[in-house]
């Protein structure tokens, strides 16, 4: 049994999905969305099932996947493949990247704390006029 797919213009799709019309056109340009049919007057005419794809795109993006990675997942699905293994590998890599970034941020926090502590002891009158700020750069 075929379900009837409701058609909608870009404004209605933007409202239903929460994705701005400009972003929808961009997603179409970069291949995340298939180009929709056009009305006789040239307006984009989307099937309502595109909402599910937009939910996937926004959810994937919220997890830190890039648009290129999302496009690769969609391409696998569109080719009839189950992309779950690919998705898992991407998410594992992003998790490792976050762990690395957390370490970098902890180091930066220590460095910033040392600069703030040093800055609290410095007299602005001692600032070298040939430098922009004596707090940033070589001590």
Using the predicted structure, report yes or no on whether residue 3 has a pLDDT greater than 60.
no
Contact between 50 and 43 under an 8 Å Cβ cutoff? The reply is: no
Encoded tokens for 78: 């569109």
Annotate 90-108 with DSSP letters as a single string.
HHHHHHHHHHHHHHHHHHH
Q: Which residue has the tokens 């797919």?
A: 5
Radius of gyration of the chain from Cα atoms?
A: 25
pTM to 2 decimal places: 0.75
Q: Residue 123, Cα to own-chain centre: how many angstroms?
A: 43
**pLDDT score recorded for residue 5:** 56
Encoded tokens for 94: 């992003």
CA 57-61-65 angle, to 5 degrees, is: 110
Using the predicted structure, report yes or no on whether residue 139 has a pLDDT greater than 80.
no
Name which residue leads in pLDDT, 105 or 125. Answer: 105
Using the predicted structure, report yes or no on whether residue 6 has a pLDDT greater than 80.
no
């Amino acid at each position: 049994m075929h379900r009837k797919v409701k058609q909608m213009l870009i404004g209605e799709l933007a409202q239903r999905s929460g994705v701005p019309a400009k972003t929808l056109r961009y997603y179409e340009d970069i291949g995340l969305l298939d180009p929709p049919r056009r009305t006789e007057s040239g307006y984009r005419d989307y099937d309502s099932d595109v909402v599910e794809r937009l939910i996937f795109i926004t959810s994937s993006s919220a997890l830190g996947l890039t648009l290129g990675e999302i496009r690769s997942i969609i391409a696998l699905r569109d080719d009839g493949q189950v992309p779950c293994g690919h998705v898992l590998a991407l998410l594992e890599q992003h998790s490792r990247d976050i762990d690395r970034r957390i370490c970098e941020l902890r180091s930066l926090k220590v460095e910033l704390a040392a600069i703030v502590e040093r800055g609290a002891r410095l007299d602005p009158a001692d600032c070298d006029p040939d430098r922009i700020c004596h707090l940033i750069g070589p001590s």
